Chains A and B, each alone.
Chain A
């Protein structure tokens, strides 16, 4: 690989999806090594465990460096690679884009991810996980709509793609999967459509990944 970058990722992982958006948008070449989180016995799985015992994806390997945490990976890409910018040059816009990304990556996603819903089902009975996830998605997306409606142009912050946008497609996708009526969030729907029209973002979608289940 030209840029000696390898991404350990899973097709459906939201955090992986964010990083794929960033890599693609910045036209950074990378090798993808899909990981099956349900069975880490293959070569990619073993590599993941070696690098990240908590077995979280994504992990970006840049030469000797092991880079984790999706938003930290994106900031690393922004600081160490050329290509279209993902952070606005205006400091206020930059802060607002980061705030949107953080609200998604810290405020919504972690509360309804698989390990949490699994535990909810264990503690509160089968089906509770879905009720839990839908509740947090509704609340989180409502707050997100409030934030993004104040800043959005064609994209989350004005008319240029930024770090906030790398987080949007996956959270809208997950919201819909949990049965949230996303039409209640018109700004999010509008921006998500604009992002889906970008080839770099389209190529980051789960169904476009090598480990996506064949239809």
Chain B
């Protein structure tokens, strides 16, 4: 795919394994946008380290997207902004109900599942419940949330999560399934999700955004 050279200045503060950054990488790829990728190394002495990130985002969360000096956080807010601001393939259906369905799926993932299994949550579980309990916790919530998600997409899916066009819902799927695999949540009973994931992986813009394909993934299999 071809990047459009733009007079816009786009910067993404990112870490390869961040699900939220992964979603934004997909959206930027789909719109064929050229951007500067600033890899955040939290513990580093220099570069885009913790103190640099906190200057731009006091909450210290990834990703941060900067468009001509406008600082944006929260992956779904960034994706909606990208959709509204840049031309290219639409990331939301034009039909009002399908549009809703795409957002509902995206939010079920980002509100209903993702926060319960991110690093800072599982670390707190380990601190309170003991070593090894974080993994159990993550697998439990991933399985439960993905079972609900399978029911949702079974009603809406065509080739992708909502019909046959890629939407904001699909943008959220690869990373949450990757998390399920990492935490060993059983996803074998979710055929619709697995098929959608397979279809998405065949799209170059999605494949290029994968955690394992980033400059900082160091050949890791995440």
Query: A: which residues have CB within 8 A of B?
Result: 53-54, 65, 67-69, 71-73, 75-76, 79-80, 91-92, 94-96, 98-99, 102-103, 105-107, 109-111, 116, 119-120, 123-124, 128, 131-132, 135-136, 143, 146-147
Interface string of B56-75 (1 = CB under 8 A from A): 00110100000000101110
Q: Are A95 and B151 in contact (CB under 8 A)?
A: no
Say which one of B2-10, B42-50, B104-112, B214-222 lies at the interface with A. Answer: B104-112
Bound complex: CA A123 to CA B126 (Å): 11
The residues of B that contact A102 with a CB separation of less than 8 Å are 74, 76-77, 110
Residue pair A91, B84 in contact (C-beta under 8 Å): yes
Q: Let me know if A98 and B128 touch, CB within 8 A.
A: no
Interface size class of B (residues with CB under 8 A): 35 or more
Is B129 an interface position by the 8 A CB rule? yes
A65 to B128, CA, bound (A): 43
Residues on the B chain within 8 Å of A147, using CB: 58-59, 73
Which of B58, B103, B115, B137 is in CB contact (< 8 Å) with A69?
Answer: B103
Known: A75-B100, A76-B100, A102-B76. A124 touches B129 (CB 8 A): yes
User: Are B148 and A54 closer than 8 Å at their CB atoms?
Assistant: yes
Q: Tell me if B's interface is mostly helix, strand, loop or mixed.
A: helix
* Contact in complex: A98, B80 (CB < 8 Å): yes
CB-based contact B103/A75 at 8 Å: yes
CB distance from A49 to the nearest CB of B (A): 12
- Given known contacts A71-B103, A95-B77, A102-B110, A111 and B96 CB-to-CB distance under 8 angstroms: no
Residues of A within 8 A of B137 (CB): 123
Docked-complex contact A98 and B116, CB < 8 angstroms: no
Residues of chain A within 8 A of B97, CB atoms compared:
65
Rounded to whole angstroms, the CA-CA distance of A69 and B99 in the bound complex is 13
* B81 partner residues in chain A, CB cutoff 8 A: 91-92, 94-95
A144's closest neighbor in chain B, by CB?
B59
Contact present for B58 and A53 (CB under 8 Å): no
